[in-house]
Structure 1
């Protein structure tokens, strides 16, 4: 029997909540410890399944992992067992963890070879890894797929800097190619690079380790290869997806919530997008304060036409928060078109919201028109299953605002991305039980 959450909804919450460290930054930063034999200390690491699996994987590879505090680890990658990559154990562990692709760049750079099993992860349409592989190939790596054991074998004994135009601005793809390029010979120019804050964090950390990366924050990175990298200390940003989720939670449940230490300048257009849905908030120091609101009204465009919220590569609005916006809009006053451009099948959780009484027209796999109920009709509690991490939290927020009891199954999906979410919501006064 898998775990589930039972939620009694309709209660306003109150209090302060601290966002966890950023999951999507963690997978890159943790992989970067493989670039140096010297100690690297990382703090504000979120305690979630995907991240813990990667830390465990690093340990299996021979990295000395020391936990200094609940959110702080020291890593020392002096003796790496490169043969571990062609083992069945690695296939079992690496194959079930999408983040395992992120260790390839550092391994190629430092050891000149790697093997990777075909990766797994979320079901949100095709997430191609071509960007990673094409980037490595441009740097001079050669690899062949072995269909018998399901591994990609990569030989990169002679990486050379070069001009690379990425076929898409993939965050993980950019990070992986950057990590491979920092130790390559000569200069690499990376255009159409992703420029998310998480990637900026990685580049700044690599520079502190002795790399020479310029253009950080733009989509054109220039990387001058160096001989070797040294140790460093790094503190991860708070998770912007969690911050957005909590903003949505406050609005839907009519709660007064303060989100602490949000690194506001790194949030891009996330706060403004939620403001367009009518949510009031104010910045107090580096905390976002959201007052209890009975109503929030979706803005229209200047000519009076219906608001559209769409995702785009950074600094556009992150696709990970579109499902939160969709749920929040169900109880707003007014209507909005949610346009999910970057992934297929991320909107398919809408059927659960329809069962709860929301008014949504799913136009196609990418677009949903939401007609807000303005809290005139509350959503009603139902039993449901979470399809992926972000939809799971959206459904959790819906359940907390709904009348009656909801049960959410498959909460493993939620816990891949959100640490101790039930305990932290209980601290705000939520009625949520794990069964």
Structure 2
């Protein structure tokens, strides 16, 4: 039982989480030492905001589009921002035109990947700009997004800068369930980005497997060689990242204090399920589309996929095990365990030990996430996150089965219900100081 509990707790925390966390600490120590040897402060960048084209694919996003565009317009001129209204039937295109940005209307709906490809070709973005920023319609850029992203892109071998995702106004979700969903998503972002991606993006590792499409920067010379609108995939960002590695286009840069943007996460179970299913299905579809090859990137991806399956199975097995254990304990307590089977089950799988084996390591993850992300609100829902993980595990395995059936996806999209947003004051993280001094932190 002791060994089984240890294995179970490792599955809750994640072996790869611990490995990448250690590599992340090594990277931090290395960069900290380099910063101490250098004079702190800013150096002139080779590139400026004017070298970036902003491309946004939008489908029926009138409730959030204006706020997002106004945030982008604080860093980019209207001529640099390009909106592709993909079969929208609302005021998406009208709002974009009113704000003076460049607009392309597509009919019928091609899906996000098709809209991005059409926008790049129509506006000749990779010929006119050094970088292309792919931006979602619900995303608010931090005030220092451009300068910190460009600092990460200074090295010529950087093909893409992965944006750092944060949840926009998690406390504003409409219902109690909605706030649970949004705070849980913020916890997932923190774990993935601090305890996985930061280590994966070490220059001597270069194993980042997802450059999120919500707000990430691509070098144009790399973007020209990427098959953005690959047929049969439900989402594009996993495939685009895999292509960067498969075609040896360069490395993916990431730092949790750079290229930060805030996204509106679903606050209804229907929209949460739809988005989660798209993400997990997109990963499995991409994994099956690309042929593994001997490389560190593929080794880490395959280990991640294996752990994803095993941990999902363990999470799903926990619930029936706990129910059986509690039932047997009740039978023993009521004197209904005449043959002694119930007592044997309770001895091997004590209910309290099963409960502690799930909740305690998960609570540790929540505590670490709240400290790293400096968002203490996620602690309010800590007792409920294990149930979310069990639900996520079920969707992950269901998506794997769907991917293995080789059912092709059209790529067309249905926008989730949005919470209306207003373009308010600065959304620069409190941890950021003077953007001109960002070199001392990135």
Instruction: Identify the TM-score tier after normalising by the shorter chain.
Output: under 0.3
What's the TM-score, normalizing by structure 2?
0.26
What's the TM-score, normalizing by structure 1?
0.26
Greater percentage in helix: 2
Larger Rg: 2
Greater percentage in strand: 1
